[in-house]
Chains A and B, each alone.
Chain A
Amino acid sequence: MSTPIDYLLHLADNAVVLGQRNAEWCGHGPILEEDMALANVSLDLIGQARLLYQRAAELKGGDATEDKLAYFRGPHEFRNYTLLELPHHGALVGYAAADRDYATTIVRNFLYSALMVHVWDGLQQSADASLAAIAAKSLKETSYHLHHSRDWLVRMGDGTEESHARAQAAVNHLMPYTEEFWTTSPAEGAAVAAKIGIDVWALRPAWDALVNEALAEATLTRPNFHGYVTEGKIGLHSEHLSYLLGEMQGLARAHPGATW
């Protein structure tokens, strides 16, 4: 059975979209150290995306390249979680140019890294040897991202009245989007059947334990969920992804093949 390319694109798109979002802090970090931290996290994520796009392009064959996959697919072709494309601010600010809220950034990085440490750990046993090698590298990087975001989650939650309120608002806003982790897309189903991907549903208890423990230490409350489950990983996105891709892909589309 061949490696489902859509599955590799799901993993790659997650990494590139969050990498692009976090890079928006470059030059705007709340403190110098965090400015560097977010730039470094982005560097890792974009590095992971490149390796995954290269593998997907190799399997696609023909004239596929990593750049074509990253720069010349439209929003409906992206397979990332909706959580990762949201701007860095809470639910009540409806436009992308709004001020960035660092609590939103940190909570999102925490929720995603807490999932991905388990995903990469499992993918080290993937039947696709290239994906297994990428997973082994990514696991180490993601563990460090988790350490960083968890540390800040606790500092903010168990910090001042203001930081606690912002962290709680970010948790309330973002937690519903994590429901998308636990539905199985056709690409994930095919990858699991081929022993190339892993069953995310089975990771839920481990993720829950990790998240609940961190929220408790941060004195934050986990909201109850009911409602719509987002479907970014099958290509149904929020409007925010189009703006993000507009910025990320603009140069490559205006000057195809440009080098410097």
Chain B
Amino acid sequence: MSSVVDKVWATLEPLTDPEIPVVTLRELGILRDVRETAAGIEVVITPTYSGCPAMGQIEDDVRASLEQAGIAARVITQLAPAWTTDWMSDEAKEKLRAYGIAPPHRTCGSSGGAEVSVLKFVRRQPTAAVACPQCGSTHTVVTSEFGSTACKALYKCLDCQEPFDYFKPY
């Protein structure tokens, strides 16, 4: 890896998600790649959800950081392969939990066969227990499948009674 690519990674390392400031763009898997091409340095980012309103902010943050460091690079938004919570590092999941957001379960099935990926959502299935980020109890219940941002659902702990956000496996 060239030194300029290393420098770009290092420059962008402190950038965090605008909605969840405890995890970095790299840890979330939004900052996908830095590559050296004939046309110059390219920084590749990918959206979590198609309509995620934070993407504009994220792109601006990346550009501003690069400019400040005096690095000329193009920022490219790439859709494929589609982002999945499986890309999130274990370290990032632990940070989420400590922040009060239950991290996503692993293997959300996005890479499964076609029948699995479509039909697994259709029938009602008992979902895997989500552990409360406060007390660790798995005696929890979903209160709303849609939360404060596109990537989260609302849960409630039936033991410590705390409501909490769950980062949806996706």
Chain A: residues with CB nearer than 8 A to chain B?
32-33, 36-37, 39-48, 50-51, 117-118, 121, 124, 129-130, 132-134, 136-141, 143-144, 146-148, 150-151, 154, 210
Contact = CB atoms under 8 A, between A and B. Distances in A.
A143 B145 contact: no
Contact of B114 (A36, A37, A121): A121
B79 interface: yes
Name B's interface SS: loop
Given A36-B146, A47-B49, A47-B51, A143 B79 contact: no
Interface in B125-148: 143-148
Contact of B145 (A46, A50, A144): A144
A43 B118 contact: no
B161 interface: no
Given A36-B144, A47-B50, A143 B82 contact: no
A134 B79 contact: yes
A148 B148 CA distance: 16
A37 B79 contact: no
Interface string B55-85: 0000000000000000000000001111100
Contacts of B102: none
Given A48-B51, A118-B118, A151-B145, 19 more contacts: A40-B150, A43-B51, A44-B50, A45-B51, A47-B49, A47-B50, A50-B51, A51-B50, A121-B114, A134-B50, A136-B82, A137-B47, A137-B79, A137-B83, A138-B50, A140-B117, A143-B118, A144-B121, A154-B124
Interface residues of B, number: 29
A210 B80 contact: no
Interface of B: 47, 49-53, 79-83, 110, 114, 117-118, 120-122, 124, 143-148, 150, 154, 168, 170
B80 A136 contact: yes
A141 B50 contact: yes
Contact of A148 (B110, B117, B145): B145
B83 to A, nearest CB: 8
11 contacts: A33-B144, A33-B145, A36-B144, A42-B51, A47-B51, A133-B79, A134-B79, A137-B50, A140-B117, A144-B145, A146-B122
A141 B52 CA distance: 12
A73 to B, nearest CB: 21
Contact of A146 (B80, B121, B150): B121
A44 to B, nearest CB: 5
A33 B154 contact: yes
B123 to A, nearest CB: 8
Contacts of A210: 122
B170 A43 contact: no
A96 B53 CA distance: 29
B75 to A, nearest CB: 15
A17 to B, nearest CB: 15
Contacts of B146: 33, 36-37, 39-41, 148
A118 B121 CA distance: 12
A33 B163 CA distance: 14
A51 B79 contact: yes
Question: Lowest 7 CB-CB distances: which A-B pairs, in order?
Answer: A47-B51, A47-B50, A133-B80, A33-B144, A133-B79, A43-B51, A143-B121
B51 A137 contact: no
A40 to B, nearest CB: 4
A147 B121 contact: yes
B48 to A, nearest CB: 9
Contact of A140 (B110, B124, B143): B110
B8 to A, nearest CB: 24
Contact of A47 (B52, B80, B81): B52
